[in-house]
Amino acid sequence: MVVSFFKFTLEKLVVAKLIGLPLLALDYFYRNFLTPSLAINIAILIFASYTASCIVVHFYRQRLD
């Protein structure tokens, strides 16, 4: 179950981009300058958006069944 939940698919990538890119843009405009922790913020945003996309896809597939 856990492996299939986090399995990388194109559908999850698209959902993650839809969630993550606005968050990244808001974070960048809020700070409005580059910091050393920007790489850490980007990594956290990527992980969080992909995890959120896994949840969205899971509930979407569960609703279709």
How high is the pLDDT of residue 3?
64
pLDDT tens readout for residues 26-37: 777 776 655 667
Whether the model clears a pTM of 0.75, i.e. scores above it, the answer is no
DSSP the chain: -HHHHS---HHHHHHHHHHHHHHHHHHHHHH-S--TTHHHHHHHHHHHHHHHHHHHHHHHHHHH-
